[in-house]
């Protein structure tokens, strides 16, 4: 039997910032537009130059633990293709929504190197 979604519950995500520090952050569903905004607002991470349009690549993250079921948009794919430090677990944090689907996941910020 599927687990019912608790819309008002809080969730938790771990973000490893560019300085190597690991941060466990509690969030409410859609408290920010996306994972990039959470990292900028809660951790003061210096990413997000294009404000979430999937153009700059500064919010490039690696999925360390967990799995995203949403596929990438064409813009996200094209931006990641321009970066040199990508791997199969690369995504753009600005394209990752803050919802129950990322609860418990771990992301490492890699930036646009
Ligand atoms: S904020 Fe620019 S690609 Fe994500």
| DSSP 8-state code for residue 40 | H
What atom of ligand 1 comes closest to residue 93's alpha carbon?
Answer: 4
In a domain, 103, yes or no: yes
Q: What is the CATH number of the domain that holds 100?
A: 3.10.20.30
Pocket of ligand 1 (CB under 6 A): 36, 48-50, 52-59, 79, 92, 94
- Cβ partners under 8 Å of residue 57, min gap 6: 79, 80, 82, 83, 92, 111, 112
Q: How far apart are the CA of 60 and the centre of ligand 1, in A?
A: 7
In a domain, 3, yes or no: no
In a domain, 32, yes or no: yes
The pLDDT averaged over each successive group of 10 residues in the chain (113 residues) is 63 96 96 96 95 97 96 96 96 96 97 87
In a domain, 74, yes or no: yes
In a domain, 1, yes or no: no
Check residue 2 and give its pLDDT: 59
Residue to substitute in 38, 53, 113 for testing ligand 1 pocket (most ligand atoms within 8 angstroms of CB): 53
In a domain, 28, yes or no: yes
Check residue 7 and give its pLDDT: 57
Q: How far apart are the CA of 19 and the centre of ligand 1, in A?
A: 19
What range does the domain containing 76 cover? 10-109
Counting the structural domains of the chain, the total is 1
| Beta carbons of 38 and 31 less than 8 angstroms apart | yes
Write out pLDDT tens, residues 84-104. Answer: 999 999 999 999 999 999 999
In a domain, 4, yes or no: no
What atom of ligand 1 comes closest to residue 59's alpha carbon?
Answer: 4
Nearest CA to ligand 1 atom 3: 54
Check residue 1 and give its pLDDT: 57
- SS3 at position 95: helix
Tell if the pTM clears 0.85, that is, is over it: yes
In a domain, 98, yes or no: yes
């Amino acid at each position: 039997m599927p687990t019912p979604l608790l819309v008002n519950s809080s969730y938790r995500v771990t973000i490893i910032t560019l300085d190597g520090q690991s941060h466990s952050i509690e969030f409410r569903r859609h408290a920010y537009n996306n994972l990039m905004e959470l990292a900028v607002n809660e951790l003061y991470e210096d990413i997000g130059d294009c404000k979430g349009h999937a153009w700059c690549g500064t919010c490039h993250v690696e999925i360390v633990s967990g799995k995203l079921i949403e596929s990438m948009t064409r813009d996200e794919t094209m931006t990641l293709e321009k970066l040199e430090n990508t791997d199969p677990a690369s995504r753009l944090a600005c394209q990752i929504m803050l919802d129950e689907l990322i609860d418990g996941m771990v992301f490492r910020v890699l930036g646009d190197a």
